[in-house]
Chain A
Amino acid sequence: MGVNPATDPKKTTHLFFGPQHPGVTGNMSIEMWFDGDQVTKAITHVGYLHRGFEKLMEKRLWIQNFPLVCRICVPEPDINEECYALAIEELAGIEVPERAKWIRTLVLEMGRLAMNLMAFGGQAGTVGLGTGAMWGITFRDFVLDLFEELTGARVYHIYIQPGGVRRDLPRGFRKRVHLVLNKIEKRLPEFDRLILNNAVFKLRTKGIGVVKPEWIEEYGLVGPVARGSGSVRDVRKDAPYEIYDKLDFDVVTETGSDIYTRAIVRRRDIDLSISLIRQILGGIPAGPVATKLPNLTEWRVPAGEYYSRVESSRGEYGYYVVSDGSLKPRRVHVRGPSYVHAVPLLERMLIGANIADVSNIMVSLTTCPPEIER
């Protein structure tokens, strides 16, 4: 047996990016072989954050799982609650009040906005533009303040529940949301100047990390990664949940396929989220915010299986929920977009990449390790 040229110890250097590595998002690692500074082979290692959520959920009541699911994706937890709630509502046949639907959509969009702000800034941060990263996270903090006011928590909100949301909007909330949006919007042009119009940023991101359009179906790519390569997939449009069918928006799509395009997609997603939040704020109807649920400690969701999907900031997010009609779920399987982005796609994209672009490429996929590992 000959030596694999991609991992020949004489010709290559064997390196780990992560888990303890500032260029890696979250706690995961990429094992790579370099020839010079060019990657010849890459293997993604995940599982550093594996907490056995799916096992734990089988051991907990249906409603007890809400605090668990939001921890599956740290930067944007609400989609998990939403997705899980959608599945339960579908299985149990619960109707959600109209107002709750609007509020849910509001929460989801705010979460998306926060996440996209961080990811857009992070893209700059990973090529060394620390200022961009700082600004992005600062803007996100404004949104987190709103969450705190609405739900009582900055990160893990546990706000959505089957049949509605936990609380109504506080007084004056809409005004404050507008204030925050105005504040962010005012700073966005400066943000653009710093990042998107920066010649060096363009040099670093254009033509790098190309996701070929044919990979979209082959790998099942979703979200900005797919939409940066010409796809128009967006669950909000394709299979509208909550009130997305009542909102006026176009799916953001670009065709550049490279990191720069993905940054643009993310930037336009920010605009889209802001516009959607504005629409929602203008249209929230009055009414109850939650349906009355049976005694939750003895609540048995009817037997059945459902695969619920929502659109997260990183793309389609799915929950495969199986109920056997007992107090606890039989099986919950979470399918986060990072699953394919960070494992097979990243391993493929990194081959031939420069060491300088490894974290650049990885960040452009906005991988979120906990949703792979759960």
Chain B
Amino acid sequence: MYCNHPPEKPGDKKEVLQKITNMARANSLWVTGYGTGCGAIELRPLGTSRFDMERFGIAMRPTPRQADVLIISGYLSTKTLKRVIRVYEQIQDPKYIMALGSCTINGGMYFDSYNTLNVLDKYLPVDVYVMGCMPRPESIIDGFSLLMKKIKEGRATGWKHYKENLDYYRENQKQIIKNWDLPDYNW
């Protein structure tokens, strides 16, 4: 019923029209509509007239299947991490993770909480961190422009890293998700 084959290793295949494709990817970032934490409150103004992320081709998509970017908007509780993993793995390649707030970097002010993980990078490959608690819309836009830059230069390869080191990530994930019942592969 679920997918039962491991992901293909993406490799460094050179695609035709790579440059144009990268430009297109950078200028059309579709964000999964998943407010995982309190940073989501600043994603809303990002869509409105003040900041208007659609200028950059950034749009919200309600389903992970159609998105490119997953924004981890702040701390992740273990309960949410499980869903985030599932959502992330359902996004199609190439995909990027942008993490908002100090709490995704090192736990921030919840460093000693029993329910929030401290370093997101151990569980999911983060391409761009945006610091602050919570990050202002401007800094999120800044984060996006950094992500765009990385994509254009072909450096936003977190998803490749994730696929190549899936075992490492899985081990870490299973360590903190006590009732692991996800399928091993959700693509």
Contact = CB atoms under 8 A, between A and B. Distances in A.
Q: Please say whether chains A and B are actual partners in one complex.
A: yes
Interface residues of A, number: 31
B102 to A, nearest CB: 12
Contacts of A144: 45
Contact of B75 (A21, A51, A55, A59): A51
Contact of B134 (A138, A140, A155): A155
B113 interface: yes
A229 B99 CA distance: 42
Contact of A21 (B47, B62, B80, B114): B62
* Of listed B42, B50, B64, B75, residue having the most chain A CB within 10 A: B50
B41 A20 contact: no
A20 B32 contact: yes
A154 interface: yes
Contacts, number: 87
B48 A134 contact: yes
Contact of B40 (A26, A59, A137): A26
Contact of B110 (A56, A118, A134, A154): A56
Contacts of A27: 34-37, 40, 80
B50 A50 contact: no
Contacts of B45: 137-138, 140-141, 144
A370 B48 contact: no
A118 B37 CA distance: 18
B37 A49 contact: yes
A128 to B, nearest CB: 13
Contact of A20 (B44, B64, B115): B64
B139 to A, nearest CB: 11
A47 B38 CA distance: 13
A5 interface: no
B80 to A, nearest CB: 4
B159 to A, nearest CB: 18
Contact of B114 (A52, A74, A134): A52
B134 A48 contact: no
Contact of A51 (B34, B62, B116, B133): B116
A283 interface: no
A55 B113 contact: yes
A21 B32 CA distance: 9
Given A22-B60, A51-B116, A134 B41 contact: no
B112 to A, nearest CB: 7
Contact of B77 (A22, A50, A75, A137): A50
Contacts of A156: 133-134
B3 to A, nearest CB: 18
A71 interface: yes
Contact of A19 (B42, B62, B80, B136): B80
A216 interface: no
Contact of B35 (A26, A141, A155): A26
Contacts of A74: 38, 40-41
Given A20-B32, A20-B34, A52 B115 contact: yes
A355 interface: no
A56 B112 contact: yes
Interface in A15-47: 19-22, 26-27, 47
Contacts of B49: 134, 138
Contacts of A370: 38
Contact of B136 (A20, A47, A138, A154): A154
A156 B40 CA distance: 13
B83 interface: yes
B79 interface: yes
B24 interface: no
A67 interface: yes
Given A47-B79, A74-B41, A19 B34 contact: yes
B12 to A, nearest CB: 31
Nearest to A47: B79
A20 B114 CA distance: 23
B33 interface: yes
B109 interface: yes
Interface string B40-68: 11101101111000000000101010000
B48 A137 contact: yes
Given A47-B77, A52-B115, A156-B133, A20 B33 contact: yes
A48 B79 contact: yes
Contacts of A91: none
B83 A68 contact: no
Which 6 pairs from chain A and chain B are nearest by CB?
A: A20-B34, A22-B62, A74-B38, A22-B33, A48-B80, A52-B113
18 contacts: A19-B34, A22-B62, A26-B40, A27-B36, A27-B37, A48-B80, A48-B83, A49-B80, A50-B79, A51-B116, A52-B116, A71-B38, A74-B40, A137-B45, A138-B45, A154-B42, A156-B134, A370-B38
Interface of B: 32-38, 40-42, 44-45, 47-50, 60, 62, 64, 75, 77, 79-80, 83, 87, 109-110, 112-116, 133-134, 136
Given A21-B33, A50-B77, A154-B42, 13 more contacts: A19-B34, A20-B83, A27-B36, A27-B37, A27-B40, A48-B36, A49-B38, A51-B110, A51-B115, A137-B47, A138-B45, A141-B48, A154-B136
